[in-house]
Amino acid sequence: MSSGRMQKHETGPHLEPLRLFVRGQLARLPWWLSEFILFGLKQAWACLFAGIMLGLMIATKFVWRPDWWLARYDFLFLMGLGVQITFLRLKLESWEEARVILIYHVTGTIMEIFKVHMGSWTYPEPSFCNIMGVPLFSGFLYASVGSFMARTIRIFDMRFTHYPPFWLTGLLALAIYANFFTHHFVPDIRYLLFAATVVIFWRVSIHFTTDRTTLHMPLTVAAFLSSLFLWIAENIGTITGTWIYPSQKVWHMVSFGKLGSWYLLLYVSFVLVTLVLKPKAPDITQATYRRVITSG
């Protein structure tokens, strides 16, 4: 890989020695095994914010007591805020990524207020840091999705082929976001929106680099796989009682219908990310160079 295009995959200066050590150890392995392990490590690094929040939800479920002076939801909010500040201080996250998280925090909280008001789900525990009954930590759960997307684009140097114009993706995102509100009053058009995501993005491929190899995947497939992991995370949220659905008087698995909701919401997330991180086309010359050195 040419030095001018060498991907740094920044972890921040404080963890840079650790990153270089890991890469040095992996260099001793066969290239395909090294690439596979690096892919997993970088995905885990991209999920760091979300992983911390999920870990906190699980841990506090088992140790928190109702008579403690600080409510569990308020603790989660303060921890989410602390994690975000720590990421910025240690340069584990860029200010551009922080702006994405802020945008998604606001849009997510607005939807939370509406959905809770409509009885779609509830937060059963008390909190001081809340807006209209919605604990503020919930915005960080949405923001973690934006964090994952922004960090993934940077860490894997993601490029996109045949990416549609912003006005089109923006209209789609607006329609999806609006439908989360309007389907309570008028017919749900989610199936039309599913079809629209395929029509608009069916030609779009994500080109991503682990280390020496550039791979590609259809964007719609990546969105579905990501929504599957979010659905699993949602089950963790409900089994820990962090939020519950009206049908969960006794806990049971979240319906697969929510998988479709996450799939659509991911497109809203992605369009919000592109407000700050503009989609880039693949560098054909560099991709050819990578294939040459890999085959060699």
CA distance 116 to 122: 6
Residue closest to 140 by CA, chosen among 176, 170, 165, 106: 106
**pLDDT for 1:** 35
Backbone torsions φ then ψ of 166, nearest 5 degrees: -60, -35
**pLDDT for 295:** 39
CA distance 232 to 252: 13
C-alpha distance from residue 64 to each of 69, 135, 266, 285 (Å): 11, 17, 32, 55
Three-state DSSP at 115 gives helix
**pLDDT for 164:** 93
Average pLDDT over residues 48-62: 90
CA distance 205 to 218: 4
Three-state DSSP at 205 gives strand
Q: What is the pLDDT of residues 152-207, one digit of tens each?
A: 888 888 899 999 999 999 999 999 999 999 999 999 999 999 999 999 999 999 99
Domain of 167? 3-295
Q: What is the pLDDT of residues 230-257, one digit of tens each?
A: 888 888 888 888 888 887 777 778 888 8
Residue closest to 220 by CA, chosen among 241, 239, 206: 206
Structural domain count of the chain: 1
- The reported pTM is 0.82
C-alpha distance from residue 196 to each of 67, 111, 132, 188 (Å): 49, 22, 34, 14
Backbone torsions φ then ψ of 180, nearest 5 degrees: -60, -25
